[in-house]
Amino acid sequence: MESWNSAKKILGHKYLALAFRLLLGATFIYAGVYKIGYAGEFAESIASYQIVPYWAVNILAIIFAWTELICGMLLVAGIRSKSAVTMIGVMLALFTAAMSITLIRGISTGCGCFSGVDAPMTWKAPARNIIWIAMAVHVYYFDSIFHLERIIFTGISEISHAIHSHLPDADLASHTRPRPGQQRTDRENQL
183 within a domain of the structure (yes/no): no
Q: Which residue has the higher pLDDT, 11 or 65?
A: 65
Question: How much is the pLDDT for 83?
Answer: 94
Q: Which residue has the higher pLDDT, 5 or 18?
A: 18
CB 99 within 8 A of CB 139: no
16 within a domain of the structure (yes/no): yes
3 within a domain of the structure (yes/no): no
104 within a domain of the structure (yes/no): yes
- Count of domains observed in the chain: 1
Apex CA 173: angle with CA 179 and CA 188, to 5°? 60
26 within a domain of the structure (yes/no): yes
135-169 per-position pLDDT tens digit: 999 999 998 877 777 676 666 666 666 666 665 55
18 within a domain of the structure (yes/no): yes
29-74 per-position pLDDT tens digit: 999 999 999 999 999 999 999 999 999 999 999 999 999 999 999 9
Q: Is the pLDDT of residue 190 over 90?
A: no
Question: How much is the pLDDT for 139?
Answer: 93
162 within a domain of the structure (yes/no): no
* C-alpha to C-alpha distances, 1 to 5, 11, 64, 142, 163, nearest whole angstrom: 6, 15, 44, 22, 52
134 within a domain of the structure (yes/no): yes
Q: How far is CA 157 from the centre of its chain?
A: 24
Q: Which domain holds residue 48?
A: 9-144
User: Which of the residue ranges 24-33, 92-101, 130-139, 150-159 would you say has the lowest mean pLDDT?
Assistant: 150-159
